[in-house]
């Protein structure tokens, strides 16, 4: 632990020393993080039947998770946490408005999150080079009513390396006025 005593002539020197020490710690952490990253055991891809959608219509998204490892992977789907986390943003990068269901699923949003008293889980096994596909209407989680361009991407926790989140490709879709 470093202790810096404040003396009249050395405050600038102590400040520089503190900044240098902090910078070195950040470099060390960045190096440690980059060397511990594991190869992902899954890949994630999304698709949409159409990228121009009329206001009020369903916004259907297909998300596919593929096991790219050479062995079985175990994963769990719970009522509180779906397999895929969907993120929709506006052209400017602002998060699209969420529905009540979206507030519950996106507990990382400030002021959101629903605490569930009962969580039902379903353990699953995904064989090597096999895929699981989920089709969902994005409007279940996002209250998208304004015409314009939106970006959608999904993220899933790597079942083998829990600290890794695997992101899908990005799709830009347009919500058009009728």
Percent of the chain with pLDDT over 70: 66
| Exposure letters 118-157 (e unless 16+ CB within 10 A, then b) | eeeeeeeebeeeeebebebebbebbebeeeeebebbbebb
User: Each residue of 48-102: pLDDT tens digit?
Assistant: 999 999 999 999 999 999 999 999 998 776 555 567 889 999 989 999 999 887 7
Task: Kindly list the domain boundaries of the chain, sorted by start residue.
Answer: 1-36, 42-176
User: Each residue of 15-55: pLDDT tens digit?
Assistant: 444 444 444 444 443 433 333 468 899 999 999 999 999 99
Q: How many CA atoms lie within 13 A of 129 on its CB side?
A: 1
At the topology level, CATH places domain 42-176 in Immunoglobulin-like (2.60.40)
């Amino acid at each position: 632990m470093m202790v810096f005593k404040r003396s009249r002539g050395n405050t600038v020197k102590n400040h520089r020393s503190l900044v240098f020490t902090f910078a070195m710690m950040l470099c060390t952490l960045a190096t440690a993080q980059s060397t511990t990253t594991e190869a992902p055991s899954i890949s994630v891809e999304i698709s949409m039947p159409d990228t121009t959608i009329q206001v009020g219509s369903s916004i259907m998204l297909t998300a596919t998770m593929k096991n790219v490892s050479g062995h079985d992977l175990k994963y769990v789907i719970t009522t509180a946490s779906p397999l895929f986390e969907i993120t929709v943003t506006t052209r400017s990068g602002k998060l699209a408005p969420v529905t009540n269901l979206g507030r519950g699923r996106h507990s990382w949003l400030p002021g959101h999150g629903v605490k569930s008293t009962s969580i039902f889980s379903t353990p699953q096994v995904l064989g090597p080079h096999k895929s699981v596909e989920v089709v969902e209407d994005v409007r279940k989680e996002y209250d998208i009513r304004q015409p314009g361009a939106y970006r959608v991407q999904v993220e899933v926790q790597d079942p083998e390396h829990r600290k890794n989140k695997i992101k899908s490709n990005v799709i830009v879709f347009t919500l058009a006025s009728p």
